[in-house]
Amino acid sequence: MGRKWIVTAGMGVFVVLFLLAAGTIAAQSPDQNDDEHFVYLPLVAKEYDPTWVWREGITVTVTPSPDDILMAIDRQGQVHLLWHPSYFSPKFIYHTFLSPSGWTSPTIVASSLGSSEVLFPPVVAPNGVLHLLWRNQKTSNDPRRMLYAAFTNTGWTPEEEVFQARSSSSSLQGMVHLDASGTVHATMVDCSILSCNTYHTVRSGNWQPAIQIPQPQYTDWVWPDRWGGVHFYGNDYSTPPKLYYSYWREGQFLTRDRFAGYLKLFGRDTQLDGQNNLHIFWKDWVPIPGGQVTGLYYQCLSQNLTSSLPETLSGYSSVYEVVKGAGYTGWVALAWRESEGGVQRVRVGVWNGCSRMYLKTVPGASGWKELKAVSVSESPPMVCLLGRPSYFSSPLEVVCADIRR
């Protein structure tokens, strides 16, 4: 018999001998009739986890070329991409998803008048419906407004106007969210040069007139939750900064301007999870032997307002783009590109509440030139990342992992 080699570790294959030395795995042939021969592979067993099953990367060409792009995973495990194009194309919201037969042809969510922009990924409801809120402006003389549509098996529902800003000079942000009964809510923050106001409305047949929520004294971050409520977090100007917290639901504040310890949020990025824990992350200097790099820090503020200690997720690596994603019931994912000693890679971490479950290197993504998005799903348990393999090529690539818990 000729030589035959089985060199994959941990895949249910019987290999007589593994030798771990100098960062390699040596595998001897299981066939005793073969001549003695060793094959050396990079040491991959260190990060091998049978609960994570990575799929092959799938390229997708999104047209027109996106200016900003979002990603979501539906209840069937299908990946959805939503984007608005650059200024050189009609600014609709475009949509494609990965069906069993491949990527669908990009379609327009709604033929909205004026220019539309994506803001936040759609909410994937327990019944599988995707709820999307986006920003639109008819002309530069008109106030910005919020539009809404839902995606079901039959396609997108007609657009509905949810809210209109106070003036054409106002900036406007907004998120769609649900409550325990499945009723659709929307929360908007309308900012002028002098002040910001927060508004809330409910879809009951039609969208009800938005009510203004009285502004707490401290508001750096406004996060709606999946119970129809709105969380406010803000720092004062003391050193170190004090954190204050407020919570509004069903027309009243249940908590207002409560002191929540010494924790800085101003100038940092955040993500509220489905259990009302606030995930905080930021890039800052990290000391390394002989110098410093820009690394990624992480901290969690639990729903009972207890904060974890800051941790450095990136070790001694330099960090580039950082993206975030949240599931419906409590999972949160952070992903980032990093490099150390000339070696580049993409990393992803997954938390359930304030407890980190996983920290993984994404196979096949080390050559990505840009990281665009990450999405996480509890049902089905999945994580997907979207990146650009080349500076000069238009196709993007999606890499997903099925999590078998």
What are the C-alpha distances in Å from 389 to residues 32, 75, 146, 367, 403?
Answer: 44, 28, 33, 6, 24
Mean pLDDT of 345-359: 97
Whole-angstrom distance, CA of residue 252 vs CA of residue 255: 9
**Quick check: bond before 381 cis, omega within 30?**
no
Beta carbons of 374 and 386 less than 8 angstroms apart: yes
255 half-sphere exposure, CB direction, 13 A CA radius: 16
Asked if the model's pLDDT at residue 392 lies above 90, the reply is no
Asked if the model's pLDDT at residue 119 lies above 60, the reply is yes
Instruction: Provide the pLDDT for residue 355.
Output: 97
Global pTM value: 0.88
Nearest alpha-carbon partner for 242 in 206, 270, 218, 221: 218
Structure tokens at 26: 């040596």
Q: Which residue has the tokens 């409305």?
A: 201
Whole-angstrom distance, CA of residue 187 vs CA of residue 223: 9
Q: What is the pLDDT of residues 157-174, one digit of tens each?
A: 999 999 999 998 889 999
Beta carbons of 29 and 4 less than 8 angstroms apart: yes
224 half-sphere exposure, CB direction, 13 A CA radius: 26
Nearest alpha-carbon partner for 121 in 298, 328, 378, 331: 328
Buried b or exposed e, range 178-213, using 16+ CB within 10 angstroms: bbeeeebbbbbbbbeeeeebbbbbebeeebeebeeb
Q: What is the pLDDT of residues 187-196, one digit of tens each?
A: 999 999 888 9
* Degrees, nearest 5: CA angle 45-47-50: 80
